[in-house]
């Protein structure tokens, strides 16, 4: 049976397709778009989700993140171009996440494409 994964509302919806080896639902799918922080985590636990995936890097400072019945995985970026380039560490973190654990996934940002300096 695949892991039940809840995508936080701060992550791009296309991530669900990228993580299709899991049973992925979004907060919108569940009707929880208005729930935040503790209430959202409580609802996810109550509904039996295995992993909560978020881009909220302040989550660990705002909520109790360890000792829960679900695992929490937080990405260093919620920008789709960054996420899209690095699916492997996200998939690995979700696969390895244990109940009650908290994991941060550092994603590499692509190099900036700068315009050449104007000629003087």
Q: pLDDT digits over 12-33, tens only?
A: 999 999 999 999 999 999 999 8
Burial 3-15 (b: 16+ CB within 10 A, else e): bbbbbbbebbeeb
Domains detected in the chain: 4-105 (3.40.50)
Find the mean pLDDT for residues 93-120: 84
36 class by beta-carbon count within 10 Å (0-12 exposed, 13-18 middle, 19+ buried): middle
pLDDT cut 70: percent of the chain above it: 95
For residue 116, what are its two tokens? 């050449």
């Amino acid at each position: 049976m695949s892991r039940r994964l809840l995508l936080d509302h701060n992550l791009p919806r296309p991530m669900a397709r990228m993580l299709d080896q899991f049973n992925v639902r979004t907060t919108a799918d569940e009707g929880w778009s208005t729930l935040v922080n503790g209430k959202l985590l409580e609802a996810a636990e109550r509904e039996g989700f295995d992993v909560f995936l978020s881009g909220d890097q302040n989550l660990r400072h705002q909520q109790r993140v360890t000792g829960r019945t679900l695992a929490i995985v937080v990405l260093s970026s919620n920008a789709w171009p960054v996420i899209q380039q690095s699916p492997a560490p996200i998939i690995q973190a979700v696969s390895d996440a244990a109940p009650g654990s908290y994991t941060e996934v550092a994603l590499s940002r692509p190099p900036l494409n700068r315009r050449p300096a104007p000629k003087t």
